[in-house]
Amino acid sequence: MNSLQKCGVSVLMLASLTGCANLDGQNRYSVSDVGHSTAMEFGTVIAVREVEVTGENSGTGKVLGAGVGALAGSNDPVTMIAGAIIGGVAGHFAEQAVADNTGIEYTITKSDGKTMSIVQNQKKEDTVFAVGKRVMIQTSGHYQRVLSADHLPAEVKRAKTVKMVD
């Protein structure tokens, strides 16, 4: 394999890392969310701040980087080992850079008077809710997200029940 082919393989392997980042935003649900109910609470945003979210590093970048580095130095065992080490380190940091992202920390006072903080991933197309904004907090298991409550009424009648008869 010539150096141009090695370079092409390296670029393709490292570019595949960009597919590892999966960020749920305000308008994206994973397939495991479909068909599952979520609890809703309402509140008002009292503070907002941008935070850094450290993503999960699966080790794929390290393995791919080591493979590419070993391949690049495959003419000599010493350069192969050095290439694998350098490539592994570079791949690790490349994967981490792709996995890390920006998030928003919302401090919300709920309608029951309790205050909570929720950090969520922030995609470019997602709205950042301002202080004073009425929001809903969607809870499914341990996962929570903050969504707009603009499309929902502020007041509703109590739901009618069905009387069970024997």
- Is residue 10 assigned to a domain? yes
Asked if 151 and 135 count as a contact pair (C-beta separation under 8 A), the reply is no
Total tally of structural domains belonging to the chain: 1
Residue 11: predicted pLDDT: 46
Residue 29 confidence (pLDDT) above 80: no
Q: Which of 100, 65, 70, 101 is nearest to 83 (CA)?
A: 70
For position 15, what pLDDT does the model report?
Answer: 45
Name the more confident of 62 and 137: 137
Taking only the tens place, the pLDDT of each residue in 130-151 is 999 999 998 887 788 898 898 8
Residue 155 belongs to some domain of the structure: no
**23 has pLDDT over 60:** no
Number of helices followed by number of strands (H, E) in the chain = 3, 5
**Residues ≥6 apart with Cβ < 8 Å to 10:** 68, 71, 72
Classify burial at 4, counting beta carbons within 10 Å of its beta carbon; exposed 0-12, middle 13-18, buried 19 or more: exposed
Predicted confidence (pLDDT) per residue in 73-130, tens digit: 677 777 777 777 777 777 766 665 565 678 899 999 999 999 999 988 888 888 899 9
> 12 pLDDT exceeds 90?
no
Is residue 30 domain-resident? no
State percent of the chain over pLDDT 70.
Answer: 67
Q: Is residue 157 part of a domain?
A: no
Cα 115 to Cα 11, 21, 46, 92, distances in angstroms: 47, 31, 9, 38
The predicted structure's pLDDT at residue 110: 95
pTM: 0.57
Say if 93 falls within a structural domain: yes
Residue 162 lies in a domain: no
29 CA to centre of own chain: 11
- Domain assignment present for residue 161? The answer is no
Say if 75 falls within a structural domain.
yes
- For residue 41, the enclosing domain spans 3-22+36-148
Q: Tell me the CA end-to-end span of the chain in Å, nearest whole number.
A: 79
